[in-house]
Structure 1
Amino acid sequence: MHNAIFPLKGEIPSFCRDDNVRIFTSSMSFYNHQMDLRRSLRALPRFATATLALLLCAATPAVRAQLTEVGDGGPGPVKAQHLTVELTSLSPQVAVGGQVQAGLVITIEEHWHVYWTNAGFSGEPPKIHWTLPQGITTGPLQFPPPSRLPLGPYMDYGYEDHVALPFTVTASPSLKPGKVHLDAHVNWLVCSSVCLPGKAHLGLDLDVAKGPLPAPAVVGTLGTAITSLPRPLRPDMSVDVIGGAKEVVFTLKTGGREAEAEIYPFDSGQISDTSDQTVEPLPDGIRVRVPRAHVSPESDQLTPLPATIHGLFKLTDTEAYDFTAKVVPGEVPTPTAGAKKGTDTTGATSVTLFGAIGLAFLGGLILNLMPCVFPVLFIKGMALVNSSTEERGRQRTHGLVYTLGIVASFWVVVAVLLVLRTTGKELGWGFQLQSPVFVAVLASFFFFLALSLAGQFELGLSLTSAGGGLAKKQGLTGSFFTGVLATVVATPCTGPLMGAAIGFALAQPAWLTFLVFTALALGLALPYLALTMQPQWTKILPRPGAWMEVFKQLTSVILFITAIWLTWVFGHLYANDGIDRIVALLACFLVLAIAGWVLGRWPAKWGSTIVAVLLILGGLIIPLRKPAVETLTWQPYTQANFDAARASGKPIFIDFTAAWCLSCQVNERAVLRSKDVESKLIDNHVQLLKADWTQYDPQITQELAAVGRSGVPTYVIYPGSKNSNADVLPELLTKDIVLKAIEKDSKTD
């Protein structure tokens, strides 16, 4: 190993190849993090020994060469010992008064690593010391989620292979256009079995231009790092921290089941760095148990519990949440003894094969009473009442075909799940609800079916399966596809007794997984199958009558509620524009309601059926279309931004708007976001300000009054000349009006 680490074998003494550098840096990190006196004193002997060894090493020419600064002040990439560093940015330009994202990109040799902001047991994160031109400022380095890097009995937090550390470059509004150079001195510590410090002289050249500038594409290594940065907790999420006698328990509530998680504290000494973290998936989140920290690796004494913990909840390499939570003293019982890291300890590990089969079968039975499944069973029950005059053999065939539809559908879902697992995707039962397409289609289907049950149009009692042709005379095809529908609506649910069975099944070989889920499918199919196998039992069912119509309409309420819930889920699948996506799905529901009206107005007609199908397809396109990419950069309207834009000598376009203003939204989408208008605004270097009046703002109200208006939409263009009067555009915009106004007010005197 040492030959691979130090190619110059023979030039570096053997005592430079051991853990002296690691001991030195770990001891220094004890002091840097202000550890208590007892821990510091324990570190002194090895710290002194390592320091003496390093002083001797420093006299070696080969070691001194490793500590020489590389780079000539350019962006790089620059090759150093065991890694390559470079500076890059998403765009070569930055707007006056604007910002651009840049980053330090580090490519690391195999078996080596650099450190996160909290290095763990020892180490230091990369640092940048800037020499910046006047008017340019940079933000701190931002760190993507790290990985746990064990080395012997110790644990570091850092990165292997490559990492990009983003930062923000800001140009002052008073900065003049032109080229600027950002000078950087970068320091790092790269480690394997030994640690080597390094440094480089890098730089970044940017072109300062008058804005607005097009938004750069967030791509490449830097773009990946930016999109992977830790996020704040969403409003529907929470983190609870319970500090016990031996462990600290972190519980993250996300509203859905999570498979994996790791905890990374921002401060050392709060939890054990070296111990395994035990993961417990929960129905609405995940729980991680971490042993408490010791005063030193050699001591049995625990550090006091902190009052609060600032940490990172890492779910995947691209999804992590930054949290700060109070530590509440207490104990959280362990569900299963002997749980291991990454094990589902909600009960699956204690279930036997026959126990899992029994729980799955009972869970399938109970699924028939779940709100999403019961309407389907009710519809089949009504079909059974209507077909009570059919011969017994025919009814039994219906029951068997319905069961076959359920079993076959469960097999397909499980097969897809297992195939995806072999590709490395960790998916759980109900993973379909992580797909926006699946959720939108399922919500639309429930809404459309609810309209039929409510009486808007007659879809046919067995038409829930797949359309009119499948449902005529209670056909066998209709029974099969009703079984498929029962599976589709059942798989997102995990009813009582199912959790342990599913957790057990998904951890077993494929044939056992199929066996358990077959039992679940048979439990789901049993009620209807039993009624068809014993036709005399249908005598307990009430006779057909007016009550069926009333009960059918009441059943539609359950489906409407399910559609509302799925709409809520659909919005939460999008981090930034969830509200807009919900509105799009509601618009789809409106189109579906029109399609239902067409079917009710002209029933059993080919023309109305074709129109309804086209409306349904068109409605589904609305929530599934990709959002338009914002080309223009709008600054929020403030007096400071207005004064800076006015001082630039460029024309200013102010959009007085509000989220509740329908005319505003139509003008923005139809006119202001059109390619012709956007190109004209960019070509004429028009400064763009958006005065958002969604919530009352006295400054915006005052500005509206100044231009003779009292409401929105209002559009104002200020010519570049400071002595020119503002032009107020009509409330209803056309592209021709806006283009002519821009052309007029962009002319220089």
Structure 2
Amino acid sequence: MNINGRISKLLLLACALLIHIPAHSQLQVVGDGGPGPVKAQHLTAELVSLSPSIAPGGTLQVGLVLTLEEHWHVYWLNAGDSGEPPKIIWTLPDGVTAGPMQFPIPSRLPLGPLMDFGYEDSVAFPVKLTAAASVKPGPIHLDAKVNWLVCREVCIPGKAHLGLNLTVSPDAAPAQPVGALGEALSLIPTPLPANAKLTVTGGKTDLVLTLITGKRETDAEFYPVDQDQIANAAPQPVEPLPDGIRLRVHHSDDLKTLPAQLHGVLKLSDTVAYDVTAPVTPGEIAPAPGSTAPGAPDTSSVTVLGAIGLAFVGGIILNLMPCVFPVLFLKGLALLQSSGEERSRLRSHGIVYTLGILVSFWAIVGVLLALRAGGSQAGWGFQLQSPVFLTLLAAGIFFFALSLAGLFDIGLSLTSVGGELAQKQGYTGSFFTGVLATVVATPCTAPLMGAAIGFALAQPAGITFAVFTALGLGLATPYLLLSFQPAWTRILPRPGAWMEIFKQITAVIFFATVIWLTYVYGSLFAGGASGGQGIYRVALLLGCFLTLAIAGWVLGKWPARWSSTIAAIVIAALGLAIPLYQPKDTTLVWTPYSQQALDQARAAGHPVFIDFTAAWCLSCQVNERAVLKSADVQHQFSKNKVTLLRADWTQYDPEITKQLASVNRSGVPTYVIYPATKNSTPDVLPELLTKSIVLTALEKDTKQ
């Protein structure tokens, strides 16, 4: 919290207190010096003891019990963003001393954009009494002046005069921990067990607490004893470990330098918490896309084998994506024309093709991990944020498309489609076709890939390589199976002249890809997917050029025919209409994503839809035009007053990368709905959208 925010918070608290303080500036004190219970505003206070007697030289647990009205709360030792903890001022007989008030395990209590730490319903605060050996047997009286602050939307201070009558007796029996005080004693945070270890790493914005307990933990929260060390209201993502847990907390905005040590309570459940103190070691902190946080979907059940399985199935599905399918189909045609070859040679082609995919994936993962080791937060598709890579990719695909169109025969070596070159250089062609399949796959994210990649990028390098290897094997599997069972190619049409026509049709698909890559390249310099309408119009003009090229192909294929001439004129007219037609834009306005915009919308009680997108993400563009801009979805957005945020990841943005990680994703497309209700769990939608998916999610998440 910055200094202005803290001042505002204190002013609000002061105003609330002033409203409820009587004009004579003296709070009404309840109680007559007895144990109670006594009724005050919104709570009942009472002093209790585990036993009516204490032995000379012995100890006894007494405590303050507060029972609160529904939705009202009192505070922990560190109250959080506002408030004060209860206090007791004792007046005790000679020889009797009272230890500090002890605080049971607290809870996080959100209040608008703030976060308090405290207790609702009821709570007991134990205090340990010690009687000196010299204390004479007989009755004694303990006098207590109690102060508290009880809050809901407003805060009301309270005071009570309480007391306990005890007996000092050498025959005092050991007290049993029963009742509210006994329960509170069981909830006092304890020191870490001897076999447990806590380390704290401090980064530029976060502190990462790694607790090793010897068993897998699934939940954790950290409550600092010292104020202004962490951002109290920020989510605290957790990452379960096989032998413990890793917890990430965000620095307070007031924290200018890392603290020497971190002291607080590490809560693992409502009944288990540890009082911890650990030195803070400065270091680089990697993002945690596989983590879960309060208010985020729980993916802690994802295991290494589960992520590998998801990646493999996602890789198979990736073959059906528009960016990859033409390459796979061309390889199927290669099998048709080479069906006369020995089966062992066909299998070798499949293995070499698979090797080309795997080597490409390994290269991508190696670069990605190197970037992350250098402090960059890169994710799937990161290479499409590079103008140099886009230039090389667009030029290579354009060159390949010209060959498919029949201008020259480089396609023979690249795709192994028949002929003498395929026999001499077929293995090279198969390998580089695998490389091409990987390259054109990077703009796409298939179903199941998001969770697998998000998990992989939060793991050690070995697991990351294993998950991406499974993804590559999934991508290679369809062709690999065809090469081992060439009889399955019977499902494809028989070889013939149609294959040449199909190659030319495929060239059109790749030319369209070049247009899209040109748009992406321009978007890197013109505001990305959320802006750059000029770049969008350029893309439409290039689409016109492509359509005119198709019209020219029709004239060349069927020369001197009226039917072909009329068809070419119609196609050319449609092409000219692409850049000239300007439909009226009735779509709703999307606001650029920022954490502040998200927080403001949620604080105002509005549902929020975040579109994580990028100009280079083909799936994103399809989802946007086919689903998000549809009349039905737009109507529901407007009807339910949904705040629309667009997180444009065309160029690297650390804030967007961090938000992706908070919902367990590391790439785009990603779509998240935050319901209107406070502290609600965000709803992460599938990578491929339909109107039904979005409308169903909106109906569920916008209910009040």
TM bin (shorter chain): 0.3 to 0.5
What is the TM-score when the length of structure 2 is the normalising length?
Answer: 0.42
* Higher relative contact order, structure no. (Cα contacts within 8 Å, ≥ 6 residues apart): 2
What is the TM-score when the length of structure 1 is the normalising length?
Answer: 0.39
